[in-house]
């Protein structure tokens, strides 16, 4: 089983701060990663996809992939209370999901 | 574009009973997935179909779970007999292809409670 590990949190940040979510993976063959957001009681929705080393930015979200360290992260700038959710990291093969990190943005 | 449809949305059964879930993927999506998500955990893949063929069912408890996608469109997942630990949300997802960078679209899920 190809493992994807995340800290379950909860991670609490004040409104307007940067939230940093991290994920490590065991399969060196993994070439790309997805970040999904899941609100309580809802299904996961894709927010970012990254396949190359370095950073990928989309609005307030930045995904970072470091294949040498087998590490992928998601930064959320100017965090809003509406960002409060569980963030799931996933490797493509059968979308092997981490357990998710719960983020709470406090007003 | 209609999304992934699932039914029922909620189901409560007693242990040892059987239950079936239905999923209709987005039109034209060849790949269909069933996931089990236990409260507080990430989704766990149960089975992946490419058209009407099984690609991966390595994590499907085959002694009690079965799934089919006979015509390569909609799919059913069955549990027989159910156990207490089967209480979870069952998510169906689909993609255009099974390629690694294809975005998965999830249905609303079926919340199963086994008492």
- List pLDDT tens digits, range A15-66: 999 999 999 988 777 778 899 999 999 999 999 989 888 899 999 999 999 8
- Which sign does the torsion angle of CA A21, A25, A28, A34 carry? negative
Per the CB < 8 Å rule, is A94 touching B56? yes
* Of A78, A6, A17, A90, the residue nearest A47 (C-alpha): A90
| Residue A53: per-residue pLDDT | 84
| Residue A19: per-residue pLDDT | 97
Per the CB < 8 Å rule, is B43 touching A44? yes
Per the CB < 8 Å rule, is B101 touching A92? yes
| Residue A38: per-residue pLDDT | 96
Q: CB–CB of A4/A57 below 8 Å?
A: no
Separation in Å, CA of B60 to nearest CA in chain A: 13
| Residue B89: per-residue pLDDT | 97
* Of B75, B83, B103, the residue nearest B1 (C-alpha): B103
| Residue A21: per-residue pLDDT | 96
Residues of chain A positioned with their CB less than 8 A from the CB of B100: 31-32, 92-93
Per the CB < 8 Å rule, is A95 touching B41? no
**pLDDT above 70: residue A93:** no
**pLDDT above 60: residue A1:** no
| Residue B98: per-residue pLDDT | 65
**pLDDT above 90: residue A91:** no
Per the CB < 8 Å rule, is A44 touching B45? no
* Residue A67, burial from CB neighbour count under 10 angstroms (0-12, 13-18, 19+): middle
| Residue A67: per-residue pLDDT | 86
**Residues counted in chain B:** 115
Ranges of residues in chain B with a pLDDT under 50 are none
**pLDDT above 60: residue A107:** yes
| Residue B81: per-residue pLDDT | 97
Picking from A31, A95, A102 by the largest number of B CB atoms within 10 A of its own CB, the best residue to mutate is: A95
Residue of B nearest to A48 (CA): B103
A residues 1-30 near B, CB within 8 Å? 4, 6, 8
């Amino acid at each position: 089983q190809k493992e994807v590990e995340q800290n379950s949190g909860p991670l609490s940040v004040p409104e307007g701060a940067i939230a940093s979510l991290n994920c490590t993976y065991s399969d060196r063959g993994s070439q790309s990663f997805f970040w999904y957001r899941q609100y309580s009681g809802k299904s996961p929705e894709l927010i970012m996809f990254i396949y190359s080393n370095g950073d990928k930015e989309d609005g307030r979200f930045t995904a970072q992939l470091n294949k040498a360290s087998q590490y992928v992260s998601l930064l959320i700038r100017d965090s809003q209370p509406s960002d409060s959710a569980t963030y799931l990291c996933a490797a493509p093969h059968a979308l092997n999901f981490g357990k998710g990190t719960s983020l709470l943005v406090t007003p | 574009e209609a999304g992934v449809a699932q039914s029922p949305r909620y189901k409560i059964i007693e242990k040892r009973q059987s239950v079936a879930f239905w999923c209709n993927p987005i039109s034209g999506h060849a790949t269909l997935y069933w996931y089990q998500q236990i409260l507080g955990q990430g989704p766990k893949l149960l089975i992946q179909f490419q058209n009407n063929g099984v690609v991966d069912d390595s994590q499907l408890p085959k002694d009690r779970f079965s799934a089919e996608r006979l015509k390569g469109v909609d799919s059913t997942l069955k549990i027989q007999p159910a156990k207490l630990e089967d209480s979870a949300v069952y998510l169906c997802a689909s993609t255009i292809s099974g390629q690694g960078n294809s975005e998965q679209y999830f249905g609303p899920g079926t919340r199963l409670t086994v008492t």
